[in-house]
Amino acid sequence: MAVPLPSAEHVAMAAVVTLGLIVVWDAYWLTKQRSDVPNLGQLPSGGFAWQSEGVNEMVRQWGNLGSMAAMMVLPWALLEASNTPVVYAVLWDIFLALHLISLLVPKRYAITSTHLFADGQRYPWERLRLAKRQPKRRIMLLRNGWGPFGPLPLGGDPDALRTAREYIKAMEQARYGPRKAKESE
């Protein structure tokens, strides 16, 4: 006995609602970054904080921007074949455009002795490591246990990234000792 598939309209509604929730969730974290990283430059506790610019975020998020552009076009090709109302494709594109804009908003980052603050969230250092191969115009950290979904790129101007990279190397050296930290370079 075959189980009937849900209607295309129900699937479209579920996809749009899910995307809307993701956009709201990301907006919450974006607003939180100012309270988590209120000051820039050298921190009183010995850390470092900096802010990127839109162009730095474009470099940082180039892969996500390209995939979102493709995700905005895809539903339009499937509307007629799936008999889905156009309103869902319009809502989908609006939410993706909002998410795309949120990716380009300048971000605040901070390095402390215990955590990295990025994208409104904080990551304990024991759950991060510096990637062996580093891109030229950003810093690439990896989240332990996340596999291929673990890259955590950091954006900023070259001077801020140079300073941040030194702080990150110091964190790794303090955690692993000089020999292990040298191996990860």
Give the pLDDT band of residue 177 (cuts 50, 70, 90).
low
Looking at the predicted structure, is the pLDDT value of residue 124 above 70? yes
Residue-level pLDDT at 58: 87
Looking at the predicted structure, is the pLDDT value of residue 55 above 90? no
Average pLDDT in the 73-100 region? Answer: 90
Those residues with Cβ within 8 angstroms of residue 123's Cβ, 6 or more apart along the chain or in another chain: 115, 116, 117, 143, 152
Give the pLDDT band of residue 180 (cuts 50, 70, 90).
low
At 135, the amino acid letter reads P
Q: What are phi and psi for residue 5, nearest 5 degrees? A: -75, 150
- What is the rounded end-to-end Cα distance, in angstroms, of the chain? 59
Residue-level pLDDT at 178: 61
Name the more confident of 95 and 145.
95
Average pLDDT in the 42-64 region? Answer: 87
Strand ranges (E), the chain: 41-42, 48-51, 108-111, 115-118, 121-124, 128-130, 139-143, 151-154
Residues of the chain above pLDDT 70, percent: 95
Give the pLDDT band of residue 99 (cuts 50, 70, 90).
very high
Looking at the predicted structure, is the pLDDT value of residue 164 above 90? yes
Range among 28-42, 82-96, 161-175 rated most confident: 82-96
The pTM assigned to this predicted structure is: 0.78
Average pLDDT in the 103-120 region? Answer: 90
Residue-level pLDDT at 185: 47
Q: What is the mean pLDDT of the chain?
A: 86
Looking at the predicted structure, is the pLDDT value of residue 120 above 90? no
Residue-level pLDDT at 16: 95
Average pLDDT in the 152-181 region? Answer: 82
Cα dihedral: 134, 137, 142, 146 (round 10): -120
